[in-house]
């Protein structure tokens, strides 16, 4: 098989499935993985694909940092449905953590607890939203506020979490990648998210389907640290099966 034929086959497979793996291409074309990597590099240089860990994709796998105001209008209706569906996972807990991001902010907007609830959060917008709601006390984590996310990060916020234990963490992410795990675009906030995961007994990730097959700069955690993902119907069947194999329960918001 010539290099041109290999490139045509790679691009056709990408068109059909959206992504390819080096191992599968190597087996099918009966060439080495090194040869396939060179092919993918050449095709990426021509802006025909994006190389990923172990393969390639038609879509850019790297999440870009946007301000919270920019992100708020993206998939707004889907985020609202995800936020409503996630309310069932409150599960009678009297203390929760709500992270930063537009989907978890929407979750906060939907909160209407009938009994007392303490909410711990690094997100200033969440604090402002909940501060006058009945039955809710808010513990705002301290630290330097990042303008892009209107959320705090750093050692001070992490230090407060050392003396806290709570039921559920509702976490927003920028990327969910089956090889890389969960990630966001800012390393400082990634470190704080890791600390929030240690603090909570259960972790629920709220993310619309556009976050799948994406990677942010800062890794937050692996799949074994997350019990639930609440998302929409845009996630592929193959990805859902892979998550099930990793013992992550997925809730599809209707």
Residue 239's nearest CA partner among 178, 173, 171, 183 is 178
Q: According to the model, what pLDDT value does residue 42 have? A: 92
Residue 230 · residue 104 · CB < 8 Å: no
Residue 112 · residue 106 · CB < 8 Å: no
pLDDT tens digits, residue range 81-93? 999 999 999 988 8
Instruction: List the structure tokens of 147.
Output: 């303008």
CB atoms within 10 A of CB 132: 8
Q: What is the dotted CATH code of the domain comprising 3-57?
A: 1.10.10.10
Query: Is the pTM value of this prediction over 0.95?
Result: no
Q: According to the model, what pLDDT value does residue 54 have? A: 85
Q: According to the model, what pLDDT value does residue 194 have? A: 96
Residue 102's nearest CA partner among 136, 78, 134 is 78
Q: According to the model, what pLDDT value does residue 71 have? A: 56
**H or E element in which residue 16 lies:** helix 3-17
Phi, psi at 91, each rounded to 5°: 55, 35
Q: According to the model, what pLDDT value does residue 73 have? A: 57
Q: If you classify domain 68-252 with CATH, what class do you get?
A: alpha beta
Q: According to the model, what pLDDT value does residue 63 have? A: 61
Q: According to the model, what pLDDT value does residue 127 have? A: 97
Q: According to the model, what pLDDT value does residue 170 have? A: 98
Sorted by where each begins, the domain ranges of the chain are: 3-57, 68-252
Residue 186 · residue 150 · CB < 8 Å: no
Q: According to the model, what pLDDT value does residue 146 have? A: 81
Enumerate the β-bridge partners of residue 138: 119
pLDDT in tens, the chain (254 residues): 899 999 999 999 888 888 899 999 999 999 999 999 999 999 988 888 888 778 888 877 766 655 665 555 567 899 999 999 999 999 888 999 999 999 999 999 999 999 999 999 999 999 999 999 999 999 999 988 887 778 998 899 999 999 999 999 999 999 999 989 999 988 889 999 999 999 999 999 999 999 998 888 899 999 999 999 999 999 999 999 999 999 999 999 98
């Amino acid at each position: 098989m010539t290099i041109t034929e290999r490139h045509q086959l790679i691009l056709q497979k990408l068109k059909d499935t959206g992504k390819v793996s080096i191992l599968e291409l190597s087996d099918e074309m009966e060439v080495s993985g090194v040869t396939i990597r060179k092919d993918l590099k050449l095709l990426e240089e021509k802006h025909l694909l994006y190389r990923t860990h172990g393969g390639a994709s038609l879509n850019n796998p790297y999440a870009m940092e946007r301000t919270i105001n920019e992100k708020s209008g993206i998939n707004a209706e889907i985020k609202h449905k995800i936020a409503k569906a996630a309310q069932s996972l409150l599960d009678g807990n009297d203390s929760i953590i709500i992270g930063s991001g537009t989907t978890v902010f929407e979750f906060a907007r939907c909160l209407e607890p009938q009994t007392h609830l303490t909410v711990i959060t690094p997100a200033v917008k969440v604090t402002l939203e909940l501060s006058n709601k009945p039955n809710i006390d808010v513990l705002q984590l301290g630290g330097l506020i990042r303008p892009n996310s209107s959320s705090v990060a750093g050692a001070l916020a992490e230090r407060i979490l050392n003396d806290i234990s709570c039921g559920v963490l509702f976490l927003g992410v920028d990327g969910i990648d089956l090889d890389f795990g969960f990630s966001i675009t800012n390393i400082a906030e990634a470190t704080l998210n890791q600390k929030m995961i240690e603090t909570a007994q259960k972790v629920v990730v709220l993310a619309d389907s556009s976050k799948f097959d994406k990677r942010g700069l800062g890794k937050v955690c692996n799949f074994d640290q997350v019990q639930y993902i609440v998302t929409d119907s845009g996630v592929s069947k193959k990805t859902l099966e892979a998550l099930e194999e990793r013992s992550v329960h997925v809730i599809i918001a209707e």
